[in-house]
Structure 1
Amino acid sequence: MINIVYRLKSPKFFEEAIEEIELNDVVVRPTYLSICQADQRYYQGSRPSDILSRKLPMALIHEAVGEVISDSKDIFKPGDNVVMIPNTPFDKDEFRANYSELSKFRGSGFDGFTSDLVSLKHDRLVKLPNNFNLQVSSFIELMTVAYQGIMKFLEFKKASCKVLGVWGDGNLGYITSLLLKEICPECEIIVFGKHVENLNLFSFVDNVYLIHDVPNDLRIDHAFECVGSAASQSAIEQIIDLINPQGTINLFGVSEYPIPINTRMVLEKGLTLQGNSRSEREDFEGVVDLLCNNPHLFNYLSKLITNVCEIKSIDDLKTSFDKDYISDFGKTILKWEI
């Protein structure tokens, strides 16, 4: 079957490519996609030049839902709504697939979901209930990143777990705080950020603080760093200052450059640093179950949607990235009609 893939050839320049698509797995037509900061870094050309030259041309977007067109094994039915898993193992080893060097990631290691059709293995899809909001569901992948980090935290946390701090008032900080409040209702959730207008949206947490206006006697038991880039340095410094001994710091933020960490205080307090990146099938299943059992979460998650763009041409795709770039907060959703 003929398929058209829409690839970023160079920063801010998309091109069409015609290819054959395999029919021996599950063929899915994307319906709603969500732009991530990683997509923007490729589109804006802010990744190092050697990485851009190695990875482009490449189809972007790793957050997406779609509609099943055909399934060679009849496990999925035509018309089923599914969330697509971008992490793609090519072999097995002893490591979790999202950390394995034998895995590739769509929109990073190979083509993402900006195409007419996508062929995926059966285990790279999770069926969605018919009543799910598909615009919100388009960024389930981002939710799974927070979810797998929380699951890892619960596995290794110390006994004392009364106060959890989340650094970052952006999309990931919002989702992490929301899931923490649902998964750990007995804990006090405090969010630390820089933008009053963003923090005002965190109505579901117990408290919020501007990072330059934190009480001197405030202490937390565990922390989740959702800042990223160069700003993660100051966030981690503040976390180390405020966290109680033997706490865990879950790191989510991505930076293009090395971030210095005060290892003296990490040693003195006996802290544990946990790195979190991407997710796997069990995380997608966990998030879908969580949303099924707690449908009120959709009301909070829908507040993240700041742009919904109909994509009927490459020009529309470019316009959507430009709109997303000037948005300080929230998600840009692509209604895929190209």
Structure 2
Amino acid sequence: MYRLTGVRQIEQVTTTVDSADPESVIVRPTLMSICRADERYYTGTRDKKVLAERLPMALIHEAVGVVVRDNTGTYAPGTHVAMVPTNPHGFDELVSDNYLKTSTFSSSTTDGFMREYVFIKPENLVEIPKGAQGDMDAFIEVITVAIQAVRRLKESMIPRDRRIGIWGDGNVAYITAVVAKEEFPDAEIVVLGKHSEKLDYISFAETMLIDEVPDDYMFDQAIEAVGGMGSESAIDQIIAHLNPRGAIVLSGVSEDKVAINTRMVLEKGLDLVGTTRSTRSDFEHAIHLLTDNDAVQDRLGLLVQNIKPINKINDITEAFDEDLNMSWGKTVMKWNM
């Protein structure tokens, strides 16, 4: 296992696991992708108390691999699988695993997938058929996060989707737009951001710079995928440009509190909906979107901006540093450790 022990410090740690555990599947990771959350741990920019509580910890929650051995008999050796990082430790018939306080999450509240072998329960694996296999599999988990956001929008919105706005021009916003295009085929999807060079990657939906939105340009529904302190101005703009009874799905993570114009939320009768992470069913949905869907594969394939073979520990730190210098797109690590 390869754990982050301090700022930009990754060390190999020997751990002992019962390989004969009758409830476990042994998976050899093959592809991984670096998330901004992993970067915040790596650079030490998370809250100091959080870092003290959670480190040392193996990073990475975006990963796929190949089954080496399945003690449960669920998967044949050699099966390509996506690994679900949400680990439920309870059940609520009305609340999915990703929202339960009892659940843990790989590379956040428990060790992530940066290991030689992952011992995992079969219910935390989803098979990837041949038609869905490719480098973008490394970040299937991010696709599931976008699917969860769109799912929450569908659950909350009134049946009016003529124009849907997605605020943000980063990776999550891009993937959310890809998913929304598939889930709302008759709607006008508009992606709004600050950087024209990032919006230029989007050819399958309308785009608009946030400082060029006409006062009378309105949306029926919206998803905020900005995060950080930028989410405050994004939410404020969404509220101003959302039609009455519209829904706003908040998916951008901020370490600080942000102000919200509650007066206009009340006046318009808007719904503010939170979303985070994903469930096994979202993984199944993501793989279904990828399977033999050339348009989705091509669009998501654009995100693969850096492929890094990992053969030694120094390669891991180089991959993280390279990812930090990228303004858009994902780093895919070909895991050979």
- TM-score, normalised to structure 1's length? 0.97
CA–CA distance in structure 1, aligned partners of residues 289 and 307 of structure 2: 25
Q: Equivalent residues in 2 for 1:164-313 (5 A)?
A: 164-205=164-205, 207-292=206-291, 294-313=293-312
2:114 corresponds to which residue? 114
Q: Distance in 2 between matches of 1:113 and 1:159?
A: 40
**Match of residue 21, structure 1, among 17, 20, 24:** 17
Q: Which amino acid aligns with 2:121?
A: K
Secondary structure, aligned partner of 2:58:
coil
Aligned residues of 2:161 and 2:221 also touching (Cα < 8 A)? yes
Distance 2:144 2:18 in 1: 28
Q: Are the aligned partners of 2:223 and 2:248 in contact in 1 as well (CA < 8 Å)?
A: yes
**Which residue of structure 2 aligns with residue 99 of structure 1?**
99
Cα distance in 1, alignment partners of residues 236 and 90 from structure 2: 39
Partner SS state of residue 43, structure 1 = helix
Retained in 2: the 8 A contact 1:65–1:134?
Answer: no
Q: What is the Cα deviation at residue 75 of structure 1?
A: 1.3
2:330 is matched with 331
Pairs within 5 Å for 1:82-97: 82-94=81-93, 95-97=95-97
Partner of 1:48: 47
TM-superposed CA distance for 1:293, in Å, is 5.3
SS at match of 2:148: helix
Letter in 2 for 1:201: Y
Secondary structure in structure 2 of the residue aligned to 1:31 = strand
Give the total of aligned pairs: 333
Q: Residue 327 of structure 2 aligns to a residue in which SS?
A: coil
* Per-residue deviation, 1:118: 0.3
- The superposition leaves residues 284-315 of structure 1 with CA deviations (integer Å, 9 ceiling, x where unpaired) of 11111122252321111010111110111110
The CA distance in 2 between the partners of 1:93 and 1:161, in whole Å, is 31
User: Distance in 1 between the 2:265 and 2:18 partners?
Assistant: 50
Give, in angstroms, the shift of residue 249 of structure 1. 0.2
Q: Which blocks of at least 5 consecutive residues in structure 1 are unaligned?
A: none
Residue 197 of structure 2 aligns to which amino acid in structure 1?
E
Kindly indicate whether residue 125 of structure 2 is the aligned counterpart of residue 129 of structure 1: no
Moved runs in structure 1, 4+ residues, more than 3 A? none
Report the secondary structure of 2:74's partner residue. coil
Measured in 2, the distance between the counterparts of 1:68 and 1:20 equals 19
Rounded Cα–Cα distance in structure 2 between residues aligned with 1:18 and 1:117:
12
SS in 1 for 2:165: strand
Deviation at 1:167, TM superposition (A): 0.3
Partner SS state of residue 139, structure 1: helix
Out of 8, 27, 34, the residue aligned to residue 4 of structure 2 is 8
Q: Quick one: which amino acid aligns to residue 277 of structure 2?
A: R
Shift of 1:148: 1.2
Confirm or deny: 8 A CA contact 2:28 2:118 kept in the other structure: yes
Q: 1:61: Cα distance to partner?
A: 0.3
* Residue identity in the other structure for 1:285: E
In 1: Cα distance, 2:131 partner to 2:45 partner: 38
Superposed displacement of residue 159, structure 1: 2.1
Residue segments in structure 2 that go unaligned for 5+ positions in a row = none
3-state secondary structure, aligned to 1:212: helix
- Aligned match of 2:146: 146
